[in-house]
Structure formats: structure tokens, C-alpha cells
């Protein structure tokens, strides 16, 4: 593969090994004595991952092998059509998971926690976390993993409701995390590759308590690291397999099919002219072509002369069937819904189930716990910063990470579910989270609480009524 050109197939680049390698180390602790040696071993694996990530990113952007195809027979007719289904795949799954911002909601029943979590959500909004999540989601879908940096924002103005922390989505081609090979597979250190003012590579390495900068194989800086490893990896799955690579051979086949269809049309239009048992010179042929007719003489009177076109037209209908089969295979493998419309007589829910949207939702739910695990690691750093700079004191166990998707589908059904839960006596905050009507159920509950308290009995009212109606103990307590 030439730099910047996806001339080979992806299976040739990755040698049939799909997914990115997870980098492990046998070291028990990272110190200045072993950091350069550990970095060298890790970079060898990372460079292999980076080559594949670069290929997949270029593939997503339209640099696909069909562009470099060479045709030996009639090379002048060589259409190179990129039907960029890779872009469609990545954008669909990114929109499905991050089209609505990730929200934090309260776990438990402590009302004071709701106020603190709302402030945390406000901080995330001020830091444009929704946009960062979308960029992170694209990388996860393209190459199977993504990285987020959570840093201490020393320029934040707390009084203006600015977050004391910052978020940044990192390019996975230039960052990685190394894990311990022991039990727990905990992160040992992170590595960021950056350029200095002279365009020379240097590596920023963060362990649990140290920050090293290495350049040209030497440690040029060593400082304490109070935030720990604040580069967090967000794998799409345990094996870091992206959406594209599992169907990349089918995507290549679609490009070939579409290109060959146009080649077939063009070759039919530009068919060769065949002369049988007759002779004609070039000048006479060109003159007769300009007139739109030919007058030829038979070379052998015993055999009739014939002039015709050498052509064989591609069966477009059969080609379309083959192409549709490839597209269906992609949707089946990835769990994407089809685009079929309502054929008449179907309800909206029936179309939802028939076209595979329910199956797509199930696939998305499989990815949620893996994302939430990484998100909790980010929250650990965020809460450490908030604990030192604000009056927000939250624990991870107080926060539930809510991955929301489309809130507009089946709104009537969701509203009926909410009403049923409330009238059945389910705690209102829990009912708001269960019905899946809002992207931020915590904020919706807090804003609706005065109206809910006016319509339904509060917990204090229920406890008070229970105390009043409590039956007296047996006997009057006197002695005969």
C-alpha cells in the first residue's frame, strides 16, 4: 500500500487479522528506568494498528481500491465508480448512538443528587460534549476504537458556569493505551504522539502518578501527574473490530459491480465494427462513417459480404439482483434496517419490526455496556477535578449513564407507558427514565416535579398518612 493510497484490499493490509491489537505489558510498574524500553515495544504494535486505521479512515472518506483498478482489455473503457456505502454505514451507526447527547441521570432516591447531576450535565453542555461524542463515535465505527482526553482547564471561569475541565477527542493514529497483562488488565500508561516546533516527534506518556516526555529515545521531562491516566480508550467491542472491516470485501464487490455495469453500457455503445469478406481502407471508412452509411465490395463473389457491430450487452436486470443481494448481505451482517416502505395495511410498529429496526436497536444495546464502562473511566477523572475545584461531590454510584436514541418514534405509546407507570404507583423519577421519552429524563423530572407533586402524593405525604393511620398497639398498657 502506497502512503495515502488504498491500492490493495484491506485483507492484504491486515493479513486476515481483523480488529486492532490490544497492547499489553508485563511490567508491574512504569518508571523512568523502563519507560523508554516499554515505549519501544509498544510502538511496534501501535504502528501495525496505525497502518490499518489509516486505511479504514481513507476508505470511509472514499479512497477505495476500485479507483486504482487497471483494465488490460480495452483499457480506454475503465469506469471507476465508488459507491461509498462505507460512509453510509459509519454515519448510520454514529447517528444511532450519538444523535442525541449522552446524559447522566440519578441513581437512587437522594433528591440532592439530582441537582448536582444537573450541574454536571450543564458543564458537559458548556464543553460541547455532544460534538465530542459524535467525533468519538465516528472513530469507533471506522476503526473499532476511539480515545478521549479529559484535562484540567486552568482558564475556566467557575462563576460564569464554565466547566473546570476540558474534553478532547484524539486521533487514534497518534495515541494508544498500554494495559497490564496481569489480572484486571488495568491501564498502565497512555501515549500521545505530538510534534514540537521543529516538526520532530515527541511522546507524552502518562502513568498513574508520573508524566514523561520522550524525544529521540531520551526522557526530556518528568513531572508529577495528579489526574492519573486521563487518556481513556473507548473500544467498540473487546476485539476493536470496526464496522467497515467485517464487510469490506462486500463493499469492494459492490464497487466492481457498479463500475462493470457502466463499462458494459459504454462497450455496447462503442462496439467494434466487423467486416466479413470485404475490404475498406481507413480514409474511405471515416468518410462513410461521417455520411452514416457504408458501401463495400465483396472480395469473394461466392461468399456474401457482411458489415455488423461486435457487441454483447450486459444483462442489467440480473446485475441489479446481484447488487441488491450484496447490499442485503451488508445489512444482515451489521444489523442495519432495510429501506422498504409501507406496502399497505401495515401499522407503523409492523414496519418497524419488518424492516429490522428492532434488530438494529438490539445490536445497539449490545454496545452500550462497553461504552458505559469507558464513560465511567472518564467520569472518574471529571469527578476528581470537580471535587478539587467546585462544591460538587458525586460518586460514580450516584450516576447512571443514559445512551439515548430517537425520542420521536412511537411517542403516543411512550406517553401511554408513562401514564400507566405513574398511575400504577411507580416512583415518578423511575417512570421518567423508563418510558424513554426524553433525551435528558433527569432534567425533565426536575422541571415537572412541582406538577407531579400537585397531581400525585409525594413520599412525605404517604409516610405521614401511614403514620396517622397506623393502628394502636394491642392493649392500653395498664396493669389490672
Helices (H), 111-162: 111-126, 129-143
Cα angle: 416, vertex 417, 421; to 5 degrees: 120
Low-confidence winner among 194-203, 321-330, 376-385, 471-480 (lowest mean pLDDT):
471-480
Cβ-count burial of 266 within 10 angstroms (0-12 exposed, 13-18 middle, 19+ buried)? Answer: middle
Task: Convert the pLDDT of each residue in 129-153 to its tens digit.
Answer: 999 999 999 999 999 999 999 999 8
Distance of alpha carbon 462 from the chain centroid: 46
Q: Are 170 and 148 in contact (CB under 8 A)?
A: yes
Q: Which residues contact 410 (CB under 8 A, 6 or more apart)?
A: 348, 349, 352
- Residue 1 has what pLDDT? 43
- Residue 184 has what pLDDT? 80
Low-confidence winner among 96-100, 115-119, 187-191, 289-293 (lowest mean pLDDT):
289-293
Residue of 460 and 124 predicted with greater confidence: 124
Distance, CA of 114 to CA of 443 (rounded, Å): 8
Phi and psi at 122, nearest 5°, equal -65, -40
Low-confidence winner among 63-72, 210-219, 308-317, 427-436 (lowest mean pLDDT):
308-317
Q: Which long-range contacts (CB under 8 A, 24 or more apart) does 367-371 make?
A: 367/97, 367/236, 367/237, 368/403, 370/235, 370/236, 370/237, 370/238, 371/97, 371/234, 371/401, 371/403
Q: What's the Cα-to-Cα distance from 148 to each of 172, 275, 371, 443, rounded to whole Å?
A: 10, 69, 12, 26
Q: How many CB atoms neighbour CB 442 within 10 A?
A: 25
Residue of 428 and 214 predicted with greater confidence: 214
Q: Which residues contact 372 (CB under 8 A, 6 or more apart)?
A: 401, 403
Task: Convert the pLDDT of each residue in 329-360 to its tens digit.
Answer: 999 999 888 876 555 555 555 555 666 677 77
Residue of 24 and 463 predicted with greater confidence: 24
Confidence of residue 36 (pLDDT cuts 50, 70, 90): very high
- Residue 439 has what pLDDT? 64
Task: Report the 3 state secondary structure along 47-116.
Answer: HHHHHHHHHHHHHHCCCCHHHHCCCCCCCCCCCCCCCCHHHHHHHHHHHHHHCCCCEEEECCCCHHHHHH
What's the DSSP call for residue 220? E
Q: Are 246 and 141 in contact (CB under 8 A)?
A: no
Angle (deg, nearest 10), helices 35-60 and 129-143 = 90
Distance, CA of 480 to CA of 476 (rounded, Å): 11
Distance, CA of 215 to CA of 281 (rounded, Å): 73
Cα angle: 17, vertex 374, 166; to 5 degrees: 120
Asked if pLDDT for residue 107 goes beyond 90, the answer is no
End-to-end, the C-alpha distance of the chain in Å comes to: 102
User: Average pLDDT, stretch 420-434?
Assistant: 80
Distance, CA of 21 to CA of 305 (rounded, Å): 68
- The three-class DSSP label of residue 206 is strand
Q: Are 53 and 173 in contact (CB under 8 A)?
A: yes
Amino acid at each position: 500500500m502506497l502512503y495515502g493510497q488504498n491500492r490493495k484490499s484491506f485483507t492484504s493490509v491486515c493479513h486476515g487479522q481483523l480488529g486492532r491489537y490490544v497492547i499489553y505489558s508485563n511490567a508491574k510498574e512504569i518508571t523512568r528506568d523502563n519507560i523508554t524500553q516499554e515505549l519501544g515495544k509498544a510502538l511496534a504494535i501501535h504502528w501495525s494498528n496505525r497502518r490499518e486505521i489509516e486505511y479504514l479512515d481513507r476508505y470511509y472518506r472514499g479512497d477505495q481500491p476500485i479507483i486504482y483498478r487497471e483494465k488490460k482489455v480495452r483499457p480506454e473503457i475503465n469506469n471507476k465508480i465508488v459507491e461509498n456505502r462505507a460512509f453510509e454505514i459509519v454515519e448510520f451507526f454514529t447517528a444511532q448512538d450519538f444523535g442525541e447527547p449522552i446524559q447522566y441521570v440519578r441513581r437512587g432516591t437522594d433528591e440532592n443528587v439530582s441537582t448536582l447531576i444537573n450541574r454536571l450535565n450543564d458543564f458537559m453542555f458548556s464543553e460541547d460534549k455532544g460534538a465530542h461524542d459524535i467525533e468519538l463515535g465516528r472513530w469507533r465505527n471506522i476503526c473499532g476504537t476511539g480515545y478521549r482526553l479529559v484535562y484540567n482547564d486552568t482558564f475556566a471561569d467557575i462563576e460564569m458556569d464554565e466547566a473546570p475541565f476540558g474534553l478532547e477527542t484524539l486521533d487514534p493514529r497518534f495515541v494508544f493505551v498500554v494495559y497490564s497483562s496481569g489480572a484486571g488488565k488495568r491501564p498502565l500508561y497512555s501515549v500521545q504522539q505530538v510534534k514540537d516546533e521543529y516538526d520532530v516527534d515527541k511522546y507524552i506518556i502518562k502513568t498513574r502518578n508520573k508524566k514523561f516526555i520522550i524525544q529521540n529515545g531520551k526522557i526530556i521531562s518528568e513531572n508529577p501527574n495528579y489526574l492519573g491516566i486521563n487518556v481513556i480508550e473507548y473500544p467498540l467491542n473487546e476485539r476493536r473490530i470496526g464496522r467497515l472491516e467485517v464487510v469490506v470485501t462486500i463493499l469492494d464487490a459492490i464497487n466492481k459491480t457498479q463500475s462493470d455495469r457502466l463499462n458494459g453500457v459504454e462497450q455496447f455503445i462503442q462496439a467494434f465494427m466487423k467486416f466479413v469478406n470485404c475490404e475498406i481502407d481507413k480514409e474511405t471508412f471515416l468518410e462513410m462513417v461521417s455520411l452514416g452509411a457504408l458501401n463495400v465490395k465483396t472480395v469473394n463473389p461466392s461468399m456474401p459480404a457482411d458489415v455488423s457491430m461486435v457487441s454483447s450487452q450486459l444483462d442489467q436486470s440480473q446485475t441489479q439482483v446481484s447488487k441488491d443481494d450484496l447490499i442485503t448481505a451488508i445489512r444482515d451482517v451489521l444489523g442495519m434496517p432495510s429501506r422498504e416502505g409501507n406496502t399497505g395495511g401495515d401499522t407503523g410498529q409492523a414496519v418497524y419490526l419488518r424492516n429490522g429496526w428492532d434488530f438494529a436497536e438490539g445490536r445497539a444495546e449490545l454496545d452500550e455496556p462497553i461504552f458505559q464502562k469507558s464513560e465511567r473511566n472518564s467520569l472518574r477523572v471529571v469527578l476528581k477535578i470537580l471535587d478539587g475545584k467546585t462544591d460538587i461531590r458525586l460518586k460514580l454510584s450516584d450516576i447512571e449513564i443514559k445512551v439515548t436514541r430517537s425520542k420521536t418514534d412511537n411517542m403516543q405509546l411512550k406517553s401511554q407507558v408513562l401514564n400507566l407507570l405513574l398511575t400504577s404507583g411507580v416512583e415518578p423519577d423511575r417512570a421518567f427514565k423508563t418510558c424513554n421519552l426524553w433525551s435528558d429524563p433527569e432534567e425533565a423530572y426536575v422541571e415537572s416535579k412541582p406538577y407531579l407533586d400537585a397531581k400525585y402524593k409525594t413520599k412525605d405525604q404517604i409516610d405521614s398518612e401511614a403514620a396517622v393511620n397506623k393502628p394502636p398497639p394491642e392493649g392500653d398498657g395498664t396493669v389490672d
